[in-house]
Amino acid sequence: MSNTMKKSILPPIVVLGLLFPSSMVIDHSWRIHDPEMSVQLADISLIARFILLFFSTYLIYPIAFLGGLSPKTRMALSFTPHAYWVFYQSAIHMPLYSVPETVYLVFNPVFIFFIARTFFQVGLCEIVCRFLFRGRAASKPIEPAPVLKCLVGGTVVMVMVVVFATNFNRFYFLLREMIFS
């Protein structure tokens, strides 16, 4: 296996290696005979999965940056945990819904929110990594691509928050269905 392949596989494997057991604990916690312990174990795993999904870009991107991978590869690697989660949720709901309903599920606002937030985080990580790891003298002035990613991702996230804040009940039940299922 080439060195570049090892560098590109390591960051998402770390996050997916933590996400997969969390998902398995959530799915199989009902088998514990003590209901209170089952619920607590599932809740802890849900919180861990949420934290991993939310902050995975901040873990993956710097590792890939220090590994010397290209910006496109770093961005693709940052989306890996979210792609896993979308695939996982789609696989769970596929037997329950028809194909068009599952396609709608994939393109629902929660997934779009994750994509926009990841763009924002990738742009922010690029700016911070250039500043911290390459030093002020070695790096070029701030390039437009990371700033544009931050602006576009941040704008979409803010628009979605404002839109859903006006109809919070719908957003709450959508989040509850998608994250805690």
pLDDT, mean over the chain = 78
What integer pLDDT is reported at residue 180 of this predicted model?
Answer: 65
Q: What are the CA-CA distances from residue 42 to residues 20, 32, 45, 89 (Å)?
A: 14, 11, 5, 16
* End-to-end CA, the chain: 37
pLDDT band at 135 (very low <50, low <70, confident <90, very high): low
User: What's the rounded mean pLDDT across residues 121-135?
Assistant: 82
Q: Is the pLDDT of residue 137 over 50?
A: no
pTM, whole model, 2 decimals? Answer: 0.72
Res 141 pLDDT > 70? no
* Band of residue 174 on the pLDDT scale cut at 50, 70, 90: low
The residue-averaged pLDDT of 14-37 equals: 82
> How many residues in total does the chain contain?
181
**Whether pLDDT at 165 is above 70:** no
Mean pLDDT, rounded, for 93-117 = 77
Rounded mean pLDDT of 152-171? 68
- Amino acid 20: pLDDT: 81
Decide which of 171 and 53 is more confident: 53
Contact by Cβ (8 Å): 79, 118: yes
